[in-house]
Structure 1
Amino acid sequence: MALRTLPAQGELGHVFGRFIDADAPVAVTAYDGSVAGDADAPNRIDVRTPLAMSYVFSAPGELGLARAYVTGHLGVTGDLYTVLRALTAVIDGLSVADKMWIMRRLGTRYLRPVPVPPEEAPSRVRRGLLGLRHSKARDSAAISQHYDVSNRFYELVLGPSMAYTCACFPEPDATLEQAQFHKFDLVCRKLGLAPGMRLLDVGCGWGGMVAHAAEHYGVRALGVTLSREQAAWAQQDIAARGLADRAEVRHLDYRDVAETGFDAISSIGLTEHIGARNLPFYFQFLASKLRDNGRLLNHCITRPTTKETNHTGPFIDRYVFPDGELEGVGSIVSAMQDNGFEVRHSENLREHYARTLAGWCANLESNWTAAVAEAGVRRARVWALYMTASRLGFERHKIELQQVLGVKVDAAGNAAMPLRPDWGV
């Protein structure tokens, strides 16, 4: 398709200037030399090439913006969080008439095929060639897409704890490492762990929960993960900490765990990968692995209501967590109740995840050069964008983080739970 002449000098600035005030906290600079907003603003969106606009108009919404940013045709100067927060406010404020006006003014000039970045996962339809959604083969491919980037890259982003799930800040000024320690300890206390017990940690990541429970609570802990890289790192860490006699991490699908009779199960950040239709089987399976009076702590990202779609948006689905699904906490609780568990406690850690993500973003920024050398600049941009956007999502109550504690009661109805929660804050 033949391209029309590029817009006249300053036209992009004129269009953007309709929606960005001169005193806005973020400015827009364009390759045509135009500026919208304060040219001296420390935080800017830089439309570096015409291809940036082609990406945006070829896939309107978050996917087009993400493609433009990941490829570097759209850049950010200053603080990505401030820029994204301001951009989100502008986009949320656009009416249908505003969007139509932009399309009439600019759209046809940039409508042309653009290459999809290689970091982008295939569409849901094409992923179907790998098997049914949430089949073992497709889940394995999805997990590898995200987690088998580079253990060193994750060390740079996550810090020494290597915990890739929401931390729990005991005090407002607690460090990220202190908050991750507190999170693992809180899970152990909610599960009522004691020396000699057996713990199963499904979706164990780099083994943080497994190691913490073995070291500080004297349990025998087994963790399973679909990421080969995570399992190798975790086993080395367990050996280095002198825990190999009572802690183990296997590269294994949770559905292939053969052992039973566990005293407790922790599921920290796995439910997002299970799928709404599979929740009944998931909790039935976990209940089958527990002894009577055994407890399950399910820790996962949730929707604010049960009325929203379970599917994640196109950016998260294509670049971050292929096939990921988020349910409302009511759906999680119902699935637990209907499939072997009495629900005893629920806690929302939404604000804690916003703080956690802020810490990860700060780590990535301070280690940017090393992270780019390890995983490539495009992959680093993906992580910066998704973590920043997720932080805003938690702050704006678009998503939540819920911990739900269940117990497998015995035939007589005994739960062996304390009369009041005894795990503190």
Structure 2
Amino acid sequence: MSRDTADSKGASVSIDVSAIPSEPVGAGRYVIELLKNLPEVSADMRIVLISRQGDTKRWSELVKGCYQVQDLVPKNRAMRLVYERFSLGTQLERRGIKVHHGPHYTLPSTSKISLISTIHDLTFFDFPQYHAKSKVVFFKKAITDACNRADVIICVSQQTKNRLIELFNPKGEVCVIPHGVDTDRFKPNEDFDGQDQKIIDELLPGDDFILYLGTIEGRKRVDVLVRAFDLLIKDKLVHQETNLVLAGKSGWKTEEVETAIKESPNGSRILRLGWVKDRVVPSLLRKSLAVVYPSQVEGFGLPVLEAMACGSKIITTQDTVMAELSKGVAYLCEPGLPESLEEALNSALSDLRNYSGSSNEEVVINTREQMGLDLARKSSWHESAKLHAEIYERLA
């Protein structure tokens, strides 16, 4: 949409989407789902999206014309960060913006308008070894600035809020707005008979697989999953046809994962799909024997929530936000220990193997599955968007 058109309507709230890549994960998924649901809860609010130059078409298509899009931000990352810091605030004021939301930590440094920042996690402080040094320096400063300047900080989990308050004394209000799940897409039943199998046949050589879904990077501890998979095979706890499927693009610090795969005697059974399209994700979750999310630390752990909504068997790490999110549903393991992950995986797969129509195992499986479905139903993107909209309206 043209800059003049947006200005003439006097948009009062801006949301920065300039950092969202073409293949969104994590924080990118959060922004997209937020934008999909905001129109239902903010009909009287004028919202403009601030995108990278030349990215107007993508965002207009993604949000189906529900928002004004202004491509103010330079494409080059270094120039984008400088522009956001020193020029964006002034440009927003000139366009009548009253509230600006930076959904990925960062905010303009020079601005008189109300500011909101979403803080996803504090790993740049607590686990800097899992990030590029340049990002650690940048995001530490961005988070510090947000705590000093934001009128409201949105945290995606209570754990993130607690840690933020331990590290800082934020100037503004700190609230928790958890992510949601789209239960129209993520559900235990396919839309039509054969839908899931058709998608799996397009992606994989067989439908007997354990699934990891997410970015492949150091803190996710996919290397631990690879070694646990090797142990399952060594101890003859899985079928010869069972594969390990890694669905997600590579991120930072993948050396340990690459080494684990290279050293694995079962490399031919470790299948890497790379980033997968949204339409195939529910089918992967439903058809998997189990979904494993062995991350050492997360701000939220969205794949765990989506797996619960699909009725999947879930294995994740104890004493994390994922364990809190999936309480009573997931099989838990100690972070970083292949033997512990093997044990949790074997428990999950044993329940599946022992399942029968009248056994006690059926009660265990159905109870876990039903608890997961119930928890997922309470976590909607609609409710998340509603809570965001309430903050926008209050500050505007």
TM-score (norm 2): 0.31
Length-normalised TM-score, structure 1 = 0.29
Which protein shows a greater Rg?
Answer: 1
